[in-house]
Each structure stands twice: as C-alpha cells, then as structure tokens.
Structure 1
Amino acid sequence: MELRRLAGAMAVALATTLTASVSFADAEPLVPAAPVAEAFTLPELIGPYPSDAPARGSYIGVLDGFTEIRDTRPDLLQRNLDRGVEINNAATPVEQQRALFDDNHDRLLSLSDGLGAGLGGIFRAALAQHRLPKVAALLAGDLARAGGIANSTLVEKNHWSNPRPFEVVPERIVAYRGDGISGGADPFADVYGTDSYPSGHASQAYWKGILLADMLPELAPQILTRASEIGNGRIVLGVHYPLDVMAGRIMGQAAAADRLDDPAFARLVDEAGAELRAVLETAAGMPLRDYIASDSPYRSAETARAEFRERLTYGFERIHPDATNGIPAEAAVLLRAAAPDLTDEQRLDVLRQTAIPAGYPLDRTGPDGGWLRLDLVAAHEAVAGN
C-alpha cells in the first residue's frame, strides 16, 4: 500500500509539472502541419492508474537472480567486472561519443535514431515544435508520465547496494568526458557514491523504447537495438557492469508490460501512437511503410539482430544449463501492436520460440523468471515475417 500511495503522489507531482515542450537545439526544419493534436487533460495525466506502481510491488523479485551470484559466485562477479573493463577499455571514439551523448540527453532523443535518418529527423523536429504533446507527456524526460516509479531504480539499487566499476577499480577504468552539451562532461561525478545494480539508464531506455516500438511496430527491431546501445554505453563509460545492464533490460520489459497490461493506461499509449503516426505520415507525404522502406536505417536488419542478441547475455555462459522456466504470461502484451491478430497465447508462443535458453546469469525459475530470455527483436521479426 505504501508504494501505491507513493505512486499516486508521484502521479500528481508529475502531471502538474509535465508540459508538452521538448527542447532540442539541433531541431530539423519545420514539420508540415498535421491534424491538430490535443494534449492530455490534467485528469488523464494524474489518473491514478493501477500501473503507477509495479504489479509485484517492486521489481526486486524479477531482478533477484543477482543475489545468488553475489552470495555464491565470486568467479562470476569477477567475470562481470572484467567484461565491463574490457568494454570500457576497448571502446572506439565513436562508441565513446555516443555513450557520452546518451549520458547527457533524454533517452527519447537517443531512441529517435532508431526511426531512421529521415524519419528520426522528422520526429525530433515535431517534438521540438510541440506537435507531439501526448508522446512527449508519456515518454519525454525524467518526468515522463509512463515512467512513474519505473523512472527510478532507487528501491532496487538500495536493496543490493552494489558499488560502481569506476569506484571499485579506478585504476582499470578509462574516464571519457564530453563538453557538457553534446556529451556528459563528467559521467563519474553524476553518479559518484550511488549504487550500480540495476542500471536506471538501461531500464528507462528499454521501457521507453518498448512503448515507442508499440507506437511504431514497423521499426521495433531498430528502436529496441538503439535501446540496447544506450544500455551498452553505460558499460562503455565505466559506470555500470554488464549484469547491471542486463538487469535494466529485465526491469524495463516488466515495467512496459505493466503499463500496456493496464487498459486505462494503454489507452493513453494508443492515443499517443495515433498522434505520432499522423504527424509522421503527414510530414513524410506518403504512407509510413513506404517512407521507412526508402529511408536510411539506424542499423541493417542483420546488424541489429546480432547486436541485440549479443547484449542479451554479454558472452556469459549458462550457469544453470539444466534450468527450465516459462516466458512470463504478462510479456504477451509486448507484441500487441506488432501482432494484433494473434491471441495472447499465440504471442507467448512467438516469444517462447524466439527466446534464448534458460539458465543464463540473472535468469530465474518460478513466477518471476523468464524475463531475461526475451529476444524482442527476434520476436518482432518473427511476427513481421522477416
């Protein structure tokens, strides 16, 4: 009950401070006028909604695979550290700059890359010109209404109190710094003394990415791969371990499922999606599918597929090769827009067929298990017939 009261209070605070404005200094040229979009009303933003608090009370249960690792697998903790150091030390200049950009900008702006070169520019311009008030209200900034408690990983971080890589082995981590505008000036200073597990940036990238992909299912593999890059960037910067980022994906997926499984809140997502598609299609001057086919994608389909799959496990071996678990029933809703003609059981079957095997680090058995196994890029490709 305490979390639900907190969620209600947060909803009121968020709704009274949210605006439809998003500031992007590098906004593209004016987007042609589309049907006038109306912002959500204050009561619609306030709610409250059942999904304002996690269905499970918190996300500790779905993330608790870390407790076994911390308590019984020092070898795996060392591998987690070493793999993080490897990624940090080997980062290319492009990877460094993109990680710094993501560190210093809203996840929604970063995710817009996944729309493609042309459509992403249209999207950013429309946000800057306040033509997407509903999308902005749900997904823009740290006060995004679709976030609520899911915008914060404080409860989960406090539960494990795991220190960050740059504080544990400062002599092994390379510090990358930006100019404070295009990239974070000092990523270490921003998070010094705070807990590492799970990654809040990764969690937010995934739940925002999943909801954006729900609005634009044609681009789901691209958007979700961009979300995975945001998470990977936290390892590049030395502020998170691979397991932190894997946990962020678990939490982000569960948080997005909570929202989409809440009919009242899902209506807001549907309205924002209709707004988005109308604005983009008007600006593109042709059906979205045709424009997407002619646009330059963020990644080729093959590259997106491979990058996303690699970041599901970061090269860890299965620690419980004999483990069996199911895909959580709540995850079916994550394919609702991509496969509207399928039943929930059929969507679950797609998720089962495209999932990675059970037993990797952080994977759990029982009612909280199975979230790690989801390969949402493969699942979206499967229902699209790719």
Structure 2
Amino acid sequence: MRFKAFLLFVACCSSVAAVSSHAKNVAAAPLPEAQALTTSDAVSAPQWHALKQQEVDLLRKTLGAVPGVDKNQARPPVDKQWFKASGYDMNVAERQRQGIELLKGFSQLPQSLLDRNLHTVEAIHHAASPAVTRQALVDADGDHYLYFLAAPMGPKLGGAFLRAYQSGEISKAAALIDASTISTSVAKEHFNYPRPFLQPGNTITPVKDDIVYRDNRTYTVDGAAFPSGHTNTGYTAALLMAEMLPERFEPLVTEGARYGYSRVVLGVHYPLDVMGSRMVVEHHIADMMNDPAWRKQFDEARQQVRTALEKECGMSLESCAKPVPQNDPYTRPEMRNFYRYTMTYGLPKVNETAQPVTVPAGAEVLLEAPLPQLSAEQRRQLLVSTSIDSGYALSDGGENANFWQRINLVDAIAKGKQQAAAHR
C-alpha cells in the first residue's frame, strides 16, 4: 500500500475547525496558523513514501503478520544484557511517582475543559483523512519498535537507520530507549479517567485495523486514558534519538508529537493525555541526562548509533542527514506550526494570570546536543524566550509543571540556530 499522503496530518489539524457531519455540536479546536499540505505536495516526495512502506513491511514481519516469516527471527536485536550489565537502576517507582506529581493538576480541571477535551478528539477523529488514519494504525501496532523514526531522518539516513536497526547494529541504543521508557500504567490507575470512546454520547467510530495485521478487526484498547502510554513510548524514543542524532533533532521531536497525535486520530486518547505524556517524558529525559551513570550508557549507545549509521550511509552523518531541497516535508514551516498546535491542541487556558518561566536546574541539557556552541545560560534563556503562554491545562500541577507544559523544543532550537548563524 502506498502512503501517498502520509503527511496530511497537518491538513487534518487545520481542518478540525470544520466539524464533521458525524460529530454534530462539536466545539472544534482550530489551527488557523497552519497551511495544509496538499496531496500534490505529498506526492512530490516519493522517497518518503518508499520509506514509510518499508516501515510497514518490516513491522508486519516483526509482528508475525506475514505468512511463512518467523517473527522471532525478524525482530531487530535489542542488547538488554549490555544495559543490565551496567548495573544502572532506573528507579522506576520513584520516576512514576514524579510523573503523577507533575500531572496532578489534571484532577482539578473544570468540566468545561474536559468537555472541550472530548470534543477536540471527536473533531480530529472525524476530520482525519484515510491516509492519516492508516498511519495512525501503523503507529498503534508499532508500539515498542523504532521503525517510525526512519521517516523524520529523511530518505538516506532513514534508510540507513532501518538497515542498522534490523541487523542489530544499534542494539545498545534500542536497549537504552527501552529501559528509559517509564511506564504510564501507575499514573493511569491513579487518575483513572475513561477513554474518549467510553464517554456517554461520544461520536467516535471504531476503526478497523486493516494495515498491519490485515485481519479487519476493530482496533481497540483497554485501561484508563490519562496519560497516554503510546505517546510516552513514542516521544521517549523520538527525543532520545534526537539527542543522539542532533542533525535531525527538530524532525525527530516533531515525529514524537505526530506519534501522539495518532492516538487522538484513532479516538483512543484525548489531547490532554498526549500533552501530559510529553511533559513527563521531557522531565524524565532531562533528569536522566544529568545523571553521570545513565549518561555513560547513553554516550556508549550514541556512539554505536553514529558509527553504524555513518557506515550504512557510506558518507558523513552531516551529509547523509541533509534535507532534500524542496522535498523534505519535515523541514517545512507547516511542521513547526503542527508542533506548536500539539502543545495545546487549541484547548482554552484555565488560568489567565500570567506566570513567569522558571527553568528547572539542568533542563537546558535537552538543548546541549543540537546547540553545543551555546553556554548553559544561553540555552536556559532560549527555553524562556520560546516558551508558550502560561495558563494552559496541566500547567498548574506539581512543581515545575508550568515550565514543562510551556517548553517548546522545536522553536528553541530554531531560534538558537538563528542566533548562532548571526554570530558567525
């Protein structure tokens, strides 16, 4: 199957203002800033289509959805013994407690905001094109695998990544990402908020899973909604890989946001579920990257990734990662607009009182890899100057919730690169 319009999720976002006839009385969350990518724009990037199709083909084999293929042999190697031998304790229980504390503002949100939260799911779900829904199904079935990271790397680097991942050349990175993904199960049990498709009177239509398994069964999930487990997994993988490959930092982080958006498209998660997971992941990864013991494992995995990809590319990573002129959908302005949209999903503020941005100690480490030429203080100032307004949902939670809700990594990096270029 050809994904001729896999990037039309931006168009989907901008069209949520036009409420579907299937979702009457839905107060949609508009995205007036984004210009929709047209079908012709998507078709002009056939290399990305091939990459996305390769993702699907590999995923089908890995999950045992291809007759005659042994899924145990098809799965990419993950060197869990390497990480285990380090003796590093992920302290999962404490990190889960921190995540719940960070998101505790969810329990005090007004019903009007929760209603809007559901209405936005319905609007996005019904406005999604068939191509966007298909990609959302691939994302759903590809949970815990890294295939989805290839597209934001671009045709050359992405192809090299798929070869290296499948052959086990980056097995340490796969293990590190797996170990560093802190489960949201405890938080889900704590908040215990019903899924969108379980809310009385919802207009969500179940989607048939006919892309990977092709058994035409209806895709569904169980358990509570808040925060999103898939978003947690996808954003952790995307952000850690971005830290390892800063040459494609912005596209990879944006892919993490798109991965979360897929959950809303399927009607199984709310915007707040996705936003909450992004906040917690950024908090966790910043904390880990400031831990010398974890950082030692990260540096080893990062070196393995960069060495393997340079070998597979047959050229320097800088050359392999360069955007394809005019055809690189991940470097288009619409992508930055899309990322900004996913920070709030158009939900209204819950607090109009302006609050200052206070950067937690060490948070600037997230900008270290893509902006090595800047000092720690300069990176902290970037996080402040590019943050979104205060007062949006979840910003009144635990300590530093205001910061983690507002941090905009994509804009911070773009502005940092502009400043660096101006001083050359």
Q: TM-score range by the shorter chain?
A: 0.7 to 0.9
1:252 and 1:237 map into 2 onto residues whose CA distance is 22
> Cα deviations across residues 290-344 of structure 1 (Å, max 9, x unaligned)?
2222545352331221110011000122221213142333421211212234343
> Cα deviations across residues 113-172 of structure 1 (Å, max 9, x unaligned)?
111122112101111111112112122xxxx1222xx1x111111111000011114750
1:198 and 1:302 map into 2 onto residues whose CA distance is 29
Q: Aligned AA for 2:352?
A: P
Match of residue 205, structure 1, among 225, 234, 249: 234
1:60 and 1:368 map into 2 onto residues whose CA distance is 13
1:1-386 to structure 2, matched below 5 A, reads: 24=59, 42=82, 44-45=84-85, 47-49=87-89, 52-54=92-94, 57-69=97-109, 73-106=110-143, 107-139=145-177, 144-147=178-181, 150=182, 152-169=183-200, 172-179=203-210, 181=212, 186=217, 188-189=219-220, 191-192=221-222, 194-293=223-322, 295=324, 297-325=328-356, 326-364=358-396, 367-369=399-401, 370-385=403-418
Deviation at 1:96, TM superposition (A): 0.2
Q: Residues 155 and 39 of structure 1: is their aligned pair in 2 closer, same or farther, counting only changes over 3 Å?
A: closer
1:122 and 1:183 map into 2 onto residues whose CA distance is 28
The answer to whether the 8 Å contact 1:319/1:359 transfers is yes
The answer to whether the 8 Å contact 1:207/1:255 transfers is no
1:311 and 1:184 map into 2 onto residues whose CA distance is 32
* RMSD of Structure 2 on Structure 1 (CA): 2.6
Q: Residues 134 and 351 of structure 1: is their aligned pair in 2 closer, same or farther, counting only changes over 3 Å?
A: same
Q: Aligned AA for 2:289?
A: L
Q: Residues 83 and 181 of structure 1: is their aligned pair in 2 closer, same or farther, counting only changes over 3 Å?
A: same
2:360 and 2:370 map into 1 onto residues whose CA distance is 18
The answer to whether the 8 Å contact 2:193/2:226 transfers is yes
Deviation at 1:257, TM superposition (A): 1.5
> Cα deviations across residues 88-125 of structure 1 (Å, max 9, x unaligned)?
11110111001000000135211221111221121011
Deviates most, 291-300 or 222-231? 291-300
> Cα deviations across residues 343-382 of structure 1 (Å, max 9, x unaligned)?
4332211111111011111112763321010111111222
The answer to whether the 8 Å contact 1:55/1:258 transfers is no
2:415 and 2:269 map into 1 onto residues whose CA distance is 32
Deviation at 1:274, TM superposition (A): 1.2
1:58 partner SS: helix
Q: Aligned AA for 1:371?
A: W
Deviation at 1:253, TM superposition (A): 1.0
Query: 5+ residue gaps in structure 2?
Result: 1-57, 63-77
Q: Residues 171 and 359 of structure 1: is their aligned pair in 2 closer, same or farther, counting only changes over 3 Å?
A: closer
Deviation at 1:52, TM superposition (A): 4.5
Q: Residues 103 and 377 of structure 1: is their aligned pair in 2 closer, same or farther, counting only changes over 3 Å?
A: same
Q: Aligned AA for 2:414?
A: E
> Cα deviations across residues 52-76 of structure 1 (Å, max 9, x unaligned)?
554584311111121110xxx1111
Q: Residues 187 and 68 of structure 1: is their aligned pair in 2 closer, same or farther, counting only changes over 3 Å?
A: farther
* Superposition TM-score, scaled by structure 1 size: 0.81
1:200 and 1:174 map into 2 onto residues whose CA distance is 21
* Superposition TM-score, scaled by structure 2 size: 0.74
Q: Aligned AA for 1:377?
A: V
Deviates most, 179-188 or 59-68? 179-188
Deviates most, 273-282 or 335-344? 335-344
1:58 and 1:359 map into 2 onto residues whose CA distance is 21
2:382 and 2:91 map into 1 onto residues whose CA distance is 25
1:277 and 1:315 map into 2 onto residues whose CA distance is 38
Q: Aligned AA for 1:78?
A: D
Q: Residues 185 and 257 of structure 1: is their aligned pair in 2 closer, same or farther, counting only changes over 3 Å?
A: farther
Q: What is the number of equivalent residue pairs in this alignment?
A: 343
Deviation at 1:40, TM superposition (A): 7.3
Deviates most, 299-308 or 351-360? 299-308
1:184 and 1:355 map into 2 onto residues whose CA distance is 44
The answer to whether the 8 Å contact 1:116/1:298 transfers is no
1:294 and 1:188 map into 2 onto residues whose CA distance is 35
1:183 and 1:206 map into 2 onto residues whose CA distance is 26
**Identity value in percent:** 33
Give the equivalent residue in structure 1 for 2:25.
none
Query: 5+ residue gaps in structure 1?
Result: 1-22, 28-37
